[in-house]
Each structure stands twice: as C-alpha cells, then as structure tokens.
C-alpha cells in the first residue's frame, strides 16, 4: 500500500506550491489514475513516490515503511517507472534496456536473459527485436519496451507518467488495454498520471482529480460520472459521458436505418 | 649541404620519438585533467562558466609565450623545492613543454564534453534515475557512453593541436620535430623546414585517423575497432619510448647553443670533443640567449659559448663598459661568485654587433661611420635580430650617435640579410663573425665613439661541469685557438647559398683548419 500524508512541494521557495498538503492512500493491487490540467501538480505528486522529487513537508510510506528510509536507487529498483518520453537508452540494445534494472540489482546473467525474453513476449513484441537498437523501433514499440523495462525487476508498484501521451489513438488504446491486463496478471499496484479523462475512466479502479496542487475529487469512475459538487470536476466527468452518449446514439441511428 | 634529406632522416628517430612522447604525455595529461573537470562541472553552471572561461583564456595566450613562461616559473619552483626539500628538477626541456601543451589540450576536450553532456536528452537522464541507477552508475553507464563520440571528437582536435604546437618546444630546449624547422630556418635549409612540417603533418594525420577509429568504434558500438585503434596508438608511443632507451642518452654532458649558425657549429665542435672522451653527449640547440645562460646556471646545460658584451649587459646587468681585458677578468670573478659558472676562457675571436650596409649605397652616400649614418637615418629602415632592439647596446648607439630611423624591423638572423639585399631595410645590425658579410659584400660601419662593447666569444661551464677534469681537458685546447678568419669562413660554409655545408661539416673543417685534430 502507498500512503501519502500531508505532502507539500514548492519549486520557488514557498511562493507557490506545486503540491499542497496532499494525503492519499493507494491500497495494494489498485489501479489509480491521477488526472488534472497541466500544472495541476499530478506529475510532481507521482515523483514523490519514488523520490525523483523530495517533498518539503509530509511523508510517503510504502507498506508502512517511509520511503526516506531507503536509499533512492534501491527504492526505484523496486518500483517500475514508465513515462511519456519513454527514455530508452539509445546506446543499449532492446535486451539491455529491458534488463537494466535486474542488472543493476545484480541478478545473474541467465536469470536476466530469461526474464527479458518473458517480458518481450508479455508486451507482444517479437524476440528478434531484442538485438535491435531503440532508434530502429516505432514510437508504440518503444513504449512497449519502456513498459517491459519498468516491469523487469518484478516490482509490486508501477508508476506511469502520461505513458501514452505521444502515441496515435489506436496504439494508445491497445497499449492501455495491455497495461490493464498486466496490472491484473502481475497483481500490481499502479498509479498512472494522465490528462485524458476517458483513458482514466476506461483503465482505472479509482480516479483522483487534482487542481492547483490539491486533490479536488477522489472516487471510483462510476461515482464521479454520476456527478460531483465541484462544478469543474463535474464538467470534466461530463465529457466522457457525453462522448459515450453521442457514440451510442450514432450507432442506434444506424441500426434503426438498417 | 650535400644531402639535406639524408641528414634529416638520420636524426628522425630522435626528433620523432621525442615529439611523440611529448605529445602523448601532454594529451594523456590533458584528458586526465579535463574529464574530471567535465564531470565536476557538468551539472553546475557556477563551476562550468569559470572553468570554460579559463580554458578559453589559456587558448588565447600565444603558444610560444606560454611555453616560454613555464621556464622561469619552473626554475623558481625548482629553487624553492631545492631550498625546502633538497629536490631539484629540470626546468628546461620536457617539463615546461609538457605543462604548456597540457594546458592547450584541455579546451577542445572540455568544450566538446560539456556540449555533449548538456545536449543529452533529459528524458534519458531521468530514466537513468527512474530505473534505479545511482549518480555514479548514471555517469558511467549513460552520460559518458553517450557523450563519448563527441568527447572523442574533442580529443582528436586536441591531439592535432598538441602535435602542431609541440614543434614550438624547441626554443625551450625540448627536442621535437620543431628542431628541423628552427634549425632549417636558421641555416636557410628549406629542405629541413619542409621535412619538419611534413613529419608533423603526417604524425598529426596518423594520430587523428587512429583516434577516429576509436571514435567510430565507440559510436557504432564496435568495441573491437576501438580497441584496435587504442592498441595501435599505444604501440606507437611504446615504440617512441624505446628509441631514447636504446640510445642511452641519460647522464653525460649537455651542450647548448643559441639560435644562430655560429652557435650550431661551435656546439658541434664542443660536442665532438666531449664525445671523444667517451661520455654521452646531448645537444640542445636553438635556445633563446638568456634562456641558455639561466639553463647553464641551473646545471641544465654543461657548456655553451657566450659573448662578453652579452654577459656583461644582459645577464649581469651592468651599465658602462670597461676595457676588454678588464671586462673579461671582471666577468670571470662575478660569474663564479654569483652563479658558480666558470668562464673557461676566450676562443680568440669576437662576434660583436656591427651596423652594416650594402657597399654600393654606402659608397654613393659617403657613409663610412655610424656618425655619418645619423644624417640619413630618418629615411632609412634598420633591421635587427629578434633581440637587438631590446639590448642596451642599441639604446647606447641611439643615444650617443643620435640615431632616429624611419622604421625598425625584426628578423630571424637568416632573413635579415635577405631583407638588406632586397632593400626592405637599408642598414642591419649584423654580427662581425658572420660569413654573410663577405658573401653579400657588405660594408661594416666604423664606431668612432666605441659605443659597441667587446663581444669576445667565451666558453662557459656550468657549476657542476666546472669540476669535471675530463671536460676541462677536452675543451682547454680551444682557448685562444679560433681566429676570426677561420670562424667567419666556417660560418660562411654553412650560410652560403651554393655548396652549403651542415654545421657538422663546417665544424670538421674548422677543427682541421685550427689544428685541433
């Protein structure tokens, strides 16, 4: 379980706060989507979990243990991390990219090889790709490798920062589905930051809405879709509902004509 | 010079190996300094700016000045460590050249490295932390490998600069391919000058290509190619290191020479006499005038020939001139007392500064003395060697005869005569023992006020060499045995345009003619 308590982060010495007094609990095996506009603090909040950002105040615990008590690199080897820029190492092959965290953690070579092959299958890429370099892959293929790399060291927690932002809609939908499948099959605890509310509704067990560094809504998708006292949240959640209704009516019209 | 190409090839192993060792050491030290600087400065703009600014500033200092400045610096340092710990080191030759070239090598490596590191994709750097790398792992596994191709490009630039600039190490006493260029320039031996240039260019190109091989291997992830390039480079340096070892050039005597023909001939004469005693002998030629003196005082040279007037004014900083005999005896006691240098004795001829003109122009204008010259000086240009206009003798001439020239021009001695004959200057400050005075049919102007001090050639021994009886025995026969006519002819043999001889051939002729063998 991930628990944040009173987390604050400022980048300008306290003149403004990117994250302001956020408390949040993510139970094990939950898929949580954090949504909000750009600048709402969602990415900052995510990075406090694996200490890519250290908060000024408050505390983050994983399974009851404060993250500050673990050296950052060891903490990060236990937490998968996927982000929009993908960040594959251009000088390493696909196999070396996927196997990097197990290698850093000192796994034996055979175990790394076996794990890399298992993962390339899991993210649905042919094994012949293992010898290739990142530059030879398409954007969607690269992000599949990014997901495989994040899962390589068998983390219990996966953090995803706008993982599908740069992809075309078809690839985006396919990869989203696969992430959810992997989340289930590997019994992960997933926190995904996205600005796409539809994606959040379709993939997550729970949606956290942030605005100006604060959490303004937190609930299961169907609860939030049913309405929220905050007018901005209500407008936000209205969008997927309207889109779904429009699609449904288009399909019904066509069925009626036929 | 009967076969300049042959004589150039004969010394190539020595010159090339020393050039390679110097360049390789400077480049290795440059890399060893700039990579840690790069690592420290890469994430700190506060450190990066001053480090890059300092490296750029060093680059703007003229290379020959940087090389020259390290000599007094190291000499002072050597005296200090001697006083504190009883340890002395060589301030002439390898060390100042190494330090200056190292400073030169830093900028390209550092600038390319900083550019490469700053242009790394931030997503990749973040990913490095995201997958659980420590800062050290990120540096070694991500930043340096990604920056390596560009860093290597910097190393290549640096290598080419260092190899080119190392030719300038000759005037501070470090043998290099520059010896071809400086000696060739001095003796108007253009084959040597070209040979030196070509050798430096070929060395730079070969090094650059081997480094390019390493760069290619790194960029394309073909480690075998990178290793091949590295092994070939190391093999080249090792081969260069083996040459001085086989030549067993350690210990023994070091004979110095300043940068003109007569000095090359006399150094060759002294060296051949010392070699006959069975001791190993090294020649360090092409030194600056006062540099040679200081090097002798510091025991870095064993022996060289200097001139009384130069010693009196430039090295002991006296004002007025005593008569010849008195100057010689005063020099003898003062050099010994102040520096421990022993004045072994005069060679028997004088090489004074003289003002010389083309015979036809002097005759047409009726100029016979420097006094006559004063009237025409405002329309004339005067040419001097690189040191003349800074010497007290020039200030005295100017003041006593009221000389005001239209222009003053400085030349390498070899070019000065060409400048006079081509009319670029009307008068030159020539040397009285110079063979070219006769060859070019110049007229030497009289000095009725006796402003120009005596410049008797004298053998000087370093404090350490002075106690060596073998050395003294070998050189004492030279005292008062070289008349001006023979010296002038020997100089002429090496300077003339037709049937030119090497300094060594001229030395053999001189030794024979003066009944020294």
d(CA A37, CA B149): 40
Query: Is residue B36 a part of any domain in this protein?
Result: yes
pLDDT score for A38: 87
d(CA B107, CA B114): 10
**Interface probe, candidates B131, B139, B146, B218, chain A, greatest A C-beta count within 10 A:** B131
Contact A33, A192 (CB under 8 A): yes
Instruction: Give the pair of three-digit tokens for residue B415.
Output: 């070019």
Final residue belonging to a domain, choices B444, B476, B504: B444
Which residue carries 């020539």 as its tokens?
B430
Q: Compute φ and ψ for B409, nearest 5 degrees.
A: -125, 140
Per residue in B458-489, pLDDT (tens digit) is: 999 999 898 889 899 999 999 999 999 899 99
Which residue carries 């983050």 as its tokens?
A60
A247 vs chain B: nearest CA distance in angstroms?
37
pTM: 0.74
- Shared domain for B82 and B184, answered yes or no, is yes
A153 contacts on B by Cβ (under 8 Å): 132
A138 burial level (CB within 10 Å; 0-12, 13-18, 19+): exposed
Q: Is B417's pLDDT higher than 60?
A: yes
Per residue in B110-155, pLDDT (tens digit) is: 999 988 988 888 889 989 999 999 989 999 999 999 998 899 999 9
Which domain covers residue B151, as residue numbers?
4-247
d(CA A201, CA B441): 104
pLDDT band at B222 (very low <50, low <70, confident <90, very high): confident
Q: Is B319's pLDDT higher than 80?
A: no
- Shared domain for B64 and B194, answered yes or no, is yes
pLDDT score for B249: 47
Q: How much of chain B is helix, strand and coil, in % rounded to 5?
A: 65, 10, 25
d(CA B183, CA A43): 70
Per residue in B196-220, pLDDT (tens digit) is: 999 999 999 999 999 999 988 888 7
Query: Is residue B449 a part of any domain in this protein?
Result: no
Query: Is residue B450 a part of any domain in this protein?
Result: no
- Strands B253-258 vs B281-287: parallel, antiparallel or unpaired: parallel
Rounded percentage of chain B residues whose pLDDT exceeds 90: 48
Instruction: Give CA separation, B516 vs A190, B270, B273, B480, in Å.
Output: 98, 11, 10, 12
A237 vs chain B: nearest CA distance in angstroms?
31
Contact A82, A159 (CB under 8 A): yes
Buried b (16+ CB within 10 A) or exposed e, B378-395: eebbbbbbebbeebbbbe
In this complex, the residue of A83, A89, A101 whose CB is nearest that of residue B142 is A89
Q: What is the mean pLDDT of residues B277-301?
A: 84
Instruction: Give the pair of three-digit tokens for residue B416.
Output: 């000065």
Contact B121 A87 (CB under 8 A): yes
Q: What is the mean pLDDT of residues B278-292?
A: 82
Q: Is A49's pLDDT higher than 70?
A: yes
Contact A91 B146 (CB under 8 A): yes
Per residue in A4-22, pLDDT (tens digit) is: 999 999 998 888 899 999 9
A88 contacts on B by Cβ (under 8 Å): 124, 127
Query: Is residue B217 a part of any domain in this protein?
Result: yes
Query: Is residue B24 a part of any domain in this protein?
Result: yes
Query: Is residue B72 a part of any domain in this protein?
Result: yes
- Shared domain for B68 and B195, answered yes or no, is yes
- Shared domain for B214 and B270, answered yes or no, is no
Final residue belonging to a domain, choices B232, B247, B262: B247
DSSP string, B393-456: HHHHHHHHHT---SEEEE--HHHHHHHHHTTS-SEEEEETT-HHHHHTTEEEPB-TT--SPP-E
Look up residue B322 and give its DSSP letter. P
pLDDT score for B447: 92
Residue B245 or B133, more confident: B133
Interface residue ranges in chain B relative to chain A, Cβ cutoff 8 Å: 121-124, 126-134, 137, 141-142, 145-146, 221
Instruction: Give the pair of three-digit tokens for residue B157.
Output: 């630039």
d(CA B224, CA A187): 44
Q: Ramachandran region of residue B325, left (φ > 0), alpha (ψ -120 to 50) or beta?
A: alpha
Instruction: Give the pair of three-digit tokens for residue B497.
Output: 């345009």
Contact B495, B435 (CB under 8 A): yes
- Strands A31-35 vs A189-194: parallel, antiparallel or unpaired: parallel
Contact A104 B131 (CB under 8 A): yes
Handedness of CA B247, B253, B259, B265 (dihedral sign): negative
Instruction: Give the pair of three-digit tokens for residue B285.
Output: 């030629």
Query: Is residue B315 a part of any domain in this protein?
Result: yes
B142 contacts on A by Cβ (under 8 Å): 89, 91
Q: Is B369's pLDDT higher than 90?
A: yes
Look up residue B305 and give its DSSP letter. E
- Shared domain for B409 and B464, answered yes or no, is no
Q: Ramachandran region of residue B138, left (φ > 0), alpha (ψ -120 to 50) or beta?
A: alpha
- Shared domain for B19 and B120, answered yes or no, is yes
CB pairs under 8 A between A and B: 63
Contact B126 A50 (CB under 8 A): no
Q: Is B2's pLDDT higher than 70?
A: no
- Shared domain for B57 and B195, answered yes or no, is yes
ipTM of the predicted structure?
A: 0.87
- Shared domain for B84 and B164, answered yes or no, is yes
Which CATH number goes with the domain that contains B365?
3.40.190.120
Q: Compute φ and ψ for B433, nearest 5 degrees.
A: -95, 10
pLDDT band at B244 (very low <50, low <70, confident <90, very high): low
d(CA A221, CA A33): 10
pLDDT score for A13: 85
Q: Does A70 touch chain B (CB under 8 A)?
A: no
Which residue carries 């002072």 as its tokens?
B76
Per residue in A140-172, pLDDT (tens digit) is: 899 999 999 999 999 999 999 998 887 888 888
Task: Name A64's Cβ contacts closer than 8 Å, sequence gap at least 6.
Answer: A1, A3
pLDDT score for B317: 80
pLDDT band at B248 (very low <50, low <70, confident <90, very high): very low
Q: Does A142 touch chain B (CB under 8 A)?
A: no
How many Cα neighbours within 13 Å face the side chain of A62?
19
Q: Alpha carbon B17 to chain centroid distance?
A: 17
- Strands B427-431 vs B353-358: parallel, antiparallel or unpaired: antiparallel
A83 contacts on B by Cβ (under 8 Å): 123, 126-127, 130
Buried b (16+ CB within 10 A) or exposed e, B141-153: bbbbbbbbbbbbb
Contact A83 B132 (CB under 8 A): no
Final residue belonging to a domain, choices B214, B247, B280: B247
Chain A nearest-CA residue for B125: A87
Number of domains chain B contains: 3
- Strands B353-358 vs B442-444: parallel, antiparallel or unpaired: antiparallel
Strand partners, B282: B254
- Shared domain for B338 and B418, answered yes or no, is no
- Shared domain for B347 and B379, answered yes or no, is no
In this complex, the residue of A50, A85, A105 whose CB is nearest that of residue B123 is A85
Q: Does A177 touch chain B (CB under 8 A)?
A: no
Look up residue A86 and give its DSSP letter. -
Contact A207, A20 (CB under 8 A): no
Contact A83 B133 (CB under 8 A): no
Average pLDDT taken over every residue of chain B: 88
- Shared domain for B269 and B388, answered yes or no, is no
pLDDT score for B426: 93
pLDDT band at A126 (very low <50, low <70, confident <90, very high): very high
Q: Does A87 touch chain B (CB under 8 A)?
A: yes
- Shared domain for B55 and B106, answered yes or no, is yes
Q: What is the mean pLDDT of residues A95-108?
A: 94
Which residue carries 């001697």 as its tokens?
B82
Query: Is residue B306 a part of any domain in this protein?
Result: yes
Buried b (16+ CB within 10 A) or exposed e, A19-56: bbebebebeeebbbbbbbeeebbbbbbbbbbbbbbebe
Q: Does A50 touch chain B (CB under 8 A)?
A: yes
d(CA B345, CA B456): 10
pLDDT band at A99 (very low <50, low <70, confident <90, very high): very high
């Amino acid at each position: 379980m991930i628990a944040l308590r009173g987390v604050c982060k400022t980048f300008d010495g306290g003149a403004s706060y990117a994250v302001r007094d956020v408390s949040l609990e993510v139970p094990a095996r939950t898929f949580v989507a954090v949504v909000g506009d750009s600048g709402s603090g969602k990415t900052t909040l995510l990075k406090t979990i694996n200490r890519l950002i250290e908060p000024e105040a408050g505390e983050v615990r994983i399974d009851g243990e404060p993250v500050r008590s673990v050296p950052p690199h060891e903490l990060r080897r236990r937490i998968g991390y996927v982000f929009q820029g993908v960040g594959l190492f251009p000088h390493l092959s696909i196999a070396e990219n996927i196997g990097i965290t197990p290698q850093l953690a000192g796994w034996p070579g055979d175990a790394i090889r076996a794990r890399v092959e298992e993962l390339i299958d899991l993210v649905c890429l042919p094994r012949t790709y293992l010898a290739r370099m990142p530059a030879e892959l398409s954007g969607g293929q690269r992000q599949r490798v990014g997901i495989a790399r994040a899962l390589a060291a068998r983390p219990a927690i996966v953090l995803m920062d706008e993982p599908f932002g740069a992809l075309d809609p078809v690839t985006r939908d396919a990869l989203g589905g696969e992430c959810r499948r992997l989340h289930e099959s590997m019994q992960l605890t997933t926190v995904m930051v996205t600005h796409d509310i539809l994606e959040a509704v379709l993939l997550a067990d729970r949606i956290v809405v942030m605005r100006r560094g604060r959490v303004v809504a937190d609930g299961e998708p169907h609860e939030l879709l049913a309405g929220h006292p905050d007018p901005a949240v209500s407008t936000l959640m209205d969008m997927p509902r309207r889109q779904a209704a429009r699609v449904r009516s288009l399909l019904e019209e066509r069925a009626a004509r036929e | 010079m009967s076969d300049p190409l042959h004589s150039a090839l004969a010394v190539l192993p020595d010159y090339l190996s020393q050039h390679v060792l110097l360049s390789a050491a400077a480049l290795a030290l440059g890399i060893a300094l700039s990579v840690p600087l790069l690592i420290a400065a890469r994430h700190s703009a506060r450190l990066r700016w001053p480090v890059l600014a300092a490296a750029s500033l060093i680059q703007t200092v003229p290379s020959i000045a940087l090389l020259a400045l390290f000599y007094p610096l190291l000499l002072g340092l050597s005296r200090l460590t001697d006083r504190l710990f009883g340890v002395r080191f060589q301030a002439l030759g390898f060390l100042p050249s190494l330090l200056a070239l190292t400073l030169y090598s830093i900028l390209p490596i550092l600038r390319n490295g900083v550019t490469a590191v700053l242009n790394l994709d931030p997503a990749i750097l973040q990913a490095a932390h995201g997958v659980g790398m420590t800062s050290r792992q990120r540096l070694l596994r991500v930043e340096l490998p990604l920056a390596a191709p560009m860093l290597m490009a910097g190393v290549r630039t640096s290598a080419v600069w260092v190899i080119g600039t190392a030719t300038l190490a000759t005037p501070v006493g470090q043998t290099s391919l520059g010896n071809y260029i400086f000696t060739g320039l001095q003796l108007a031996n253009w084959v040597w000058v070209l040979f030196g240039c070509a050798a430096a260019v070929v060395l730079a190109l070969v090094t650059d290509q081997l480094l390019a091989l390493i760069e290619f291997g790194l960029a394309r992830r073909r480690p075998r190619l990178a290793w091949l390039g590295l092994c070939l480079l190391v093999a080249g340096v090792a081969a260069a290191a083996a040459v001085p070892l086989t030549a067993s050039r350690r210990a023994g005597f070091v004979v110095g020479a300043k940068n003109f023909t007569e000095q090359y001939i006399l150094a060759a004469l002294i060296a051949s006499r010392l070699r006959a005693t069975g001791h190993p002998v090294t020649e360090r030629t092409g030194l600056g005038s006062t540099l040679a003196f200081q090097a002798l005082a510091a025991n870095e040279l064993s022996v060289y020939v200097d001139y009384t007037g130069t010693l009196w004014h430039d090295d002991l900083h006296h004002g007025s001139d005593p008569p010849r005999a008195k100057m010689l005896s005063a020099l003898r006691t003062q050099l010994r007392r102040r520096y421990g240098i022993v004045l072994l004795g005069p060679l028997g001829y004088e090489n004074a500064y003289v003002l010389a003109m083309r015979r036809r122009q002097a005759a047409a204008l009726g100029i016979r003395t420097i006094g006559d010259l004063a009237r025409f000086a405002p329309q004339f240009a005067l040419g001097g060697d690189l040191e003349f206009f800074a010497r007290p003798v020039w200030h005295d001439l100017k003041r006593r005869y009221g000389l005001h020239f239209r222009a003053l021009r400085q030349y390498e001695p070899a070019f000065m005569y060409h400048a006079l004959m081509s009319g670029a200057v009307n008068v030159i400050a020539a040397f009285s023992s110079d063979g070219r005075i006769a060859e070019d049919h110049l007229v030497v102007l009289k000095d009725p006020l006796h402003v120009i001090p005596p410049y008797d050639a004298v053998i000087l021994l370093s404090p350490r060499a002075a106690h060596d009886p073998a050395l003294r025995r070998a050189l004492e026969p030279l005292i008062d045995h070289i008349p001006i006519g023979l010296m002038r002819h020997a100089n002429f043999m090496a300077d003339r345009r037709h049937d030119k001889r090497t300094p060594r051939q001229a030395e053999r002729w001189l030794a024979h003619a003066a009944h020294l063998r």
